[in-house]
Amino acid sequence: MKKFAVTSLAAAMVLSIVVTGCGAPLPEVTESTETVPELGPASPKDDFYRYVNEERFKDVEFEYGTSTARAAFDQKLIDDQIEEIIDDVVAGSGYEKGSEEYIIKNAYDLYSAYDFENEPIPEELVELMDEIQNASSIEELMQIDAKLVRDYGLSGFLNVGPDVDPFDPTRRVMTFVPLNGVMGVSFQDMRDQLYAIDSVRDDAILILTVRGYDEDTAGKYGTELANIAIDLFSATDLEAFEDPMSFKYCSIYNKSQVDDVFTNVDIDAYLKEIGFDISKVDSYCVSDDDQLVALNAIFTEDNLNALKTWELGNLITQYGKYISPHYTQMAGYIGRDYSSDHDKAVKEISNVFESETDPIYVERHYSKEMDDALIGMCDDIRAGYREIISNATWLSQETRDELLRKLENIVYVTGMDLERHDTAEYKNLNTENYFKFCLSYHKISIKEQIDSFGEPVSRKDILMPMQMFNACYNPSFNNITITVAITNAPFFDVNADYYTNLGGLGMVIAHEMGHAFDSNCILFNSKGEYDPSWIKTEDMDTLIARNDKAVEYFESFVFFGVYHVDGEQTLGENYADLGAMECVSSLATTQEDREKLFESFATIWCQICTDEQIIDQVAYDVHSPAVIRVNAVCSTLDVFYETYDIQEGDGMYVAPENRISRWY
Ligand SMILES: [Zn+2]
């Protein structure tokens, strides 16, 4: 029988704190469920997380194929809300041409009517594949590549496009985003598994044989492409690639520096072909110089056939659902989906037409009243940070002033900032069939993106769909996005008690605001410019010394006796949690309000996972597992000790000399 993390996880937590305080090795947690002791009712003093959530943990059943259950982040709730929108819109009629409803209804009907198995490959795609195969020079292939970017939504060989300038976030700069792989095989795969490179060759051979090449030729081109993949992989800085702060590696190249690198490709001609106004392109953002040099080196006439193969692979991957069903050899490329036609269509619309359901989602699930309450809470949280940062006398006055300037400059983005699109732009969509409909639809947003180059950047840009169950902080814009989906209960309820909301969504907001000062985002100044020198060196050193202690503190938490939380990997997130809790708990003054706040906080992290999921999360996730996010944060907070009268010997107790703080 599968042993789920809830029991052993809770046991491990209780043991780690009761028996050892923190940090020392744990008693072995055994493999059989029989030997995990039956847990009695939890006390807030011993395991606060389980105390709050244990009722929800009872009689849990995991849905087939899932590794998490009873999560407060309930994706099913959001999926159901979106399905309801789609169903209602599809059932209605008489929509204005080009409106969101018009697009959703047409997309649904056209998708449902399209016979992916039997409809021939769209002629346009056949022509494109022929065109790629017939390209007789690198120059010609690059022209086709530009067209695939412009009209078909591919990212192109060079993966270049406008993005916010990290050094001057008021403008966009042409940015070379480092490639991560060839033919769907990532460079990480190549690093971790010696034989991953074979997949590049095998997939190339498969594509070429279905397109009519004989085995020898396909094998030759496939091998050449695998060699290109090895060259690019060898030149790629994977550490930089995996660093969430890719900005650290960015440098700005001027036009002639880029021309010096690209001796084999005419960058101006390429960008012009995509549709950029190249008179506005004066600089480029580059974050992997060596990869760029290696990229230029592959564009030789000798490599033409291999590059054509790669391009075919890109096109077939992007439009696989229209192409793969026609080649029996590609059966493995078609995801089998046995859900009902209705569910398939809903899934497709939710994925592809998210921008259309999004404003309707806001209208249905968000109101001015909610927004006022939310903004009020944001302002209270800002005031809380203002107070604790002002009092952080371990930092110089100058640095505190700078941090406060950054705090005051934070902008909120909520559902109120999302507007419906201009129907005129979408009224001429091609409704002949689903393929043509999607193509004409995507062309509009690609063109918008191309045309936006050179336009001023708004800090109110929506960076996350409002129907996504999440929130985020963006260091360049110095803004936080609070989606509408995350205003669902238990995070927020406009009729709930203020402190319950503060411990729920308030903690999420404070967490995002806290990211402004985490170990990564602190490298951006109050204007959102990447500028590691904006804080005095002495204060930066003090901040880093605190980091070390925080890393040690979180590493003292252990799962199953062996898996320590990775303190380095989770530092930014743990700090955001800890700072957030220090901030919001400073806003609650009575016993009753504090209890509501802490309990609500533990509620939003409610979830049960399989052991494997926990181990996986500890290994790879920048967030600590839910139980740590609650118990480790509470165990280091004086106000929690006061609220629940935690004493030495209690499970939640950590000796004062081992506790940490973000701002105190
Ligand atoms: Zn975070």
Domain that holds residue 606: 1-73+489-664
Are the beta carbons of 513 and 480 closer than 8 angstroms? yes
Instruction: Answer whether residue 472 is part of any domain.
Output: no
**Looking at the structure, do residues 68 and 136 belong to the same domain, yes or no?**
no
**Looking at the structure, do residues 638 and 534 belong to the same domain, yes or no?**
yes
**Looking at the structure, do residues 62 and 155 belong to the same domain, yes or no?**
no
pLDDT score of 14: 30
Task: Give 35's pLDDT tier (boundaries 50, 70, 90).
Answer: low
Are the beta carbons of 175 and 161 closer than 8 angstroms? yes
**Looking at the structure, do residues 637 and 566 belong to the same domain, yes or no?**
yes
Q: How far is it, in rounded angstroms, from Cα 223 to Cα 203?
A: 11
Amino acid, res. 317: T
pLDDT in tens, 496-538: 999 999 999 999 999 999 999 887 888 899 999 999 889 999 9
Compute φ and ψ for 579, nearest 5 degrees. -60, -40
pLDDT score of 462: 87
**Tokens describing residue 548:** 């070390």
Which of 266, 288, 318 marks a domain boundary?
A: 318
Task: Give 30's pLDDT tier (boundaries 50, 70, 90).
Answer: low
Distance (Å) from CA 622 to ligand 1 centroid: 8
Instruction: Answer whether residue 659 is part of any domain.
Output: yes
**Looking at the structure, do residues 128 and 61 belong to the same domain, yes or no?**
no
Compute φ and ψ for 122, nearest 5 degrees. -50, 135
Distance (Å) from CA 78 to ligand 1 centroid: 21
Q: How far is it, in rounded angstroms, from Cα 98 to Cα 430?
A: 11
Q: Residues in the chain, how many?
A: 664
Residue 315 clears pLDDT 80, i.e. is over it? yes
Residue 17 clears pLDDT 60, i.e. is over it? no
Lowest mean pLDDT among 173-182, 447-456, 654-663: 447-456
Distance (Å) from CA 460 to ligand 1 centroid: 19
Distance (Å) from CA 576 to ligand 1 centroid: 6
Instruction: Answer whether residue 463 is part of any domain.
Output: no
Name the domain count of the chain.
2
Instruction: Answer whether residue 268 is part of any domain.
Output: yes
Instruction: Answer whether residue 177 is part of any domain.
Output: yes
Distance (Å) from CA 263 to ligand 1 centroid: 42
Q: How far is it, in rounded angstroms, from Cα 19 to Cα 42?
A: 16
Task: Give 95's pLDDT tier (boundaries 50, 70, 90).
Answer: very high
Q: Which residues pair with 609 in a beta bridge?
A: 68
Residue 40 clears pLDDT 80, i.e. is over it? no
pLDDT score of 335: 64
**Looking at the structure, do residues 233 and 304 belong to the same domain, yes or no?**
yes
Q: How far is it, in rounded angstroms, from Cα 527 to Cα 475?
A: 9
Residue 132 clears pLDDT 60, i.e. is over it? yes
Task: Give 282's pLDDT tier (boundaries 50, 70, 90).
Answer: very high
Distance (Å) from CA 508 to ligand 1 centroid: 8
Distance (Å) from CA 605 to ligand 1 centroid: 13
Instruction: Answer whether residue 429 is part of any domain.
Output: no
Closest CA relative to residue 415, chosen from 357, 489, 481 = 481
CA distances in angstroms from 77 to 69, 469, 572, listed in the order given: 13, 10, 29
pLDDT score of 63: 81
pLDDT score of 548: 87
Distance (Å) from CA 472 to ligand 1 centroid: 7
Distance (Å) from CA 572 to ligand 1 centroid: 7
Instruction: For residue 637, count CB atoms less than 10 angstroms from its CB and return exposed for 0-12, middle for 13-18, buried for 19 or more.
Output: buried
Distance (Å) from CA 471 to ligand 1 centroid: 8
Task: Give 59's pLDDT tier (boundaries 50, 70, 90).
Answer: confident
The alpha carbon of 466 is separated from its chain's Cα centroid by a whole number of angstroms, namely: 14
- Coil, helix or strand for 532? coil
**Looking at the structure, do residues 623 and 541 belong to the same domain, yes or no?**
yes
Closest CA relative to residue 385, chosen from 510, 472, 471, 476 = 510
What is the average pLDDT across 357-370? 97
Mean pLDDT of the chain: 90
- Coil, helix or strand for 394? coil
Task: Give 547's pLDDT tier (boundaries 50, 70, 90).
Answer: confident
Closest CA relative to residue 405, chosen from 540, 543, 248, 524 = 524
Task: Give 34's pLDDT tier (boundaries 50, 70, 90).
Answer: low
The DSSP code for 658 is G
Which of 269, 286, 318 marks a domain boundary?
A: 318
Distance (Å) from CA 506 to ligand 1 centroid: 13
Residue 202 clears pLDDT 60, i.e. is over it? yes
Task: Give 8's pLDDT tier (boundaries 50, 70, 90).
Answer: very low
CA distances in angstroms from 58 to 3, 41, 50, 600, listed in the order given: 14, 12, 11, 19
What is the average pLDDT across 148-171? 94
**Looking at the structure, do residues 533 and 596 belong to the same domain, yes or no?**
yes
**Looking at the structure, do residues 49 and 128 belong to the same domain, yes or no?**
no
Distance (Å) from CA 235 to ligand 1 centroid: 31
Distance (Å) from CA 339 to ligand 1 centroid: 34
The alpha carbon of 322 is separated from its chain's Cα centroid by a whole number of angstroms, namely: 28
CATH number of the CATH domain containing 524: 3.40.390.10
**Looking at the structure, do residues 54 and 164 belong to the same domain, yes or no?**
no
Instruction: Answer whether residue 92 is part of any domain.
Output: no
169's enclosing H/E stretch is strand 168-176
CATH number of the CATH domain containing 150: 1.10.1380.10
Residue 228 clears pLDDT 90, i.e. is over it? yes
Q: How far is it, in rounded angstroms, from Cα 555 to Cα 146?
A: 48
Distance (Å) from CA 179 to ligand 1 centroid: 26
Which of 272, 302, 318 marks a domain boundary?
A: 318
pLDDT score of 522: 87
Closest CA relative to residue 438, chosen from 552, 544, 351 = 351
Are the beta carbons of 301 and 168 closer than 8 angstroms? no
**Looking at the structure, do residues 40 and 141 belong to the same domain, yes or no?**
no
What is the average pLDDT across 134-149? 97
**Tokens describing residue 49:** 């997380």
**Looking at the structure, do residues 48 and 129 belong to the same domain, yes or no?**
no
Distance (Å) from CA 469 to ligand 1 centroid: 13
- Coil, helix or strand for 451? helix
Are the beta carbons of 467 and 78 closer than 8 angstroms? yes
Residue 160 clears pLDDT 70, i.e. is over it? yes
| Strands annotated E in 471-529 | 471-474, 479-482
Instruction: Answer whether residue 350 is part of any domain.
Output: no
pLDDT score of 333: 62
What is the average pLDDT across 360-380? 97
